[in-house]
Amino acid sequence: MDTHEPRWLNAEEKQTWLSLAAMVINLSNALDTQLQRDAGISHFEYQVLATLSEATERTLRMSELALLANGSLSRLSHVVKRLEKQGWVHRTPDPDNGRYTLALLTEAGRDKVAATAPGHVEEVRRLVLDPLTQTQQRTLRTIGHRINQAIDPAATCPR
C-alpha cells in the first residue's frame, strides 16, 4: 500500500491545470463542431483522412495510422469502416505481410480532404495561431512536445 502523500496542486498550479484542461476540451469541441457543420465528419475522421493524404501512395498500415492519428486501433477500425462506406478509404491486406491491413485513401477521399482542409485550417488559425505571437506559438509547441513526451516517451512529436 502506498503511504506516500500526494503532491497537491498549489493555487497557481491548479489554475494552470484547469486552464489547460478547459482549453483541450473546448478546442476539441470547437474543431469537431466546425468539421461536422462544414464537412459532415468528426475531427478524428478528418485526422485519419488527412494523415492518409500525406502518406506515401496515400497508404498506411492500420497500426501506423492509429498512432499517427492519435487513436486506438479499435477506434480507428470503427472509423475506417464508416469512411469505407462513404467511399473515401479502402482496406486491403498488406501484400508484404498478410497479418497487417493497409488503409488506402481513395480518389473520393482525397477530394474530401481537399474540400475540407481550407475551412479546417482557417478554424485552426482563428482559434490557435492568430491569438498568439510567434514567440507564444513556439512556446506552445515546446510545451505540447514536453507534455506528449511525458505521456509517451517513445512517441515522436512533430516539431
3-state SS of 43-91?
A: HHHHHHHHHHHHCHHHEEEHHHHHHHCCCCHHHHHHHHHHHHHCCCEEE
Asked if residue 79 is part of any domain, the answer here is yes
Asked if residue 126 is part of any domain, the answer here is no
pLDDT at 123: 98
User: What is the C-alpha radius of gyration for the chain, rounded to an integer number of angstroms?
Assistant: 19
Average pLDDT over residues 58-76: 94
Asked if residue 45 is part of any domain, the answer here is yes
Q: Where are the alpha helices (DSSP H) in 7-61?
A: 11-39, 43-54
Chain center to CA of 76: 11
Asked if residue 77 is part of any domain, the answer here is yes
Q: Give the DSSP H or E segment for 118.
A: helix 107-124
2: confidence class by pLDDT, cuts 50, 70, 90: low
- Domain extent, residue 39, equals 34-117
What distance in Å separates the CA atoms of residue 53 and residue 59, rounded to the nearest whole number?
Answer: 8
Asked if residue 10 is part of any domain, the answer here is no
Contacts of residue 141, defined as CB under 8 A and 6 or more positions apart, other chains included, come to: 159
Asked if residue 80 is part of any domain, the answer here is yes
Average pLDDT over residues 75-83: 96
For the chain, what is the domain count?
Answer: 1
Q: Dihedral of CA 150/159/117/53: which sign? A: negative
Structure pTM?
0.87
113 or 2, greater pLDDT: 113
Asked if pLDDT for residue 58 goes beyond 90, the answer is: yes
Give the CATH number of the domain where residue 103 resides: 1.10.10.10
Asked if pLDDT for residue 115 goes beyond 60, the answer is: yes
Asked if residue 48 is part of any domain, the answer here is yes
Asked if residue 61 is part of any domain, the answer here is yes
Distance between start and end Cα atoms, the chain: 40
Asked if pLDDT for residue 59 goes beyond 80, the answer is: yes
156: confidence class by pLDDT, cuts 50, 70, 90: low
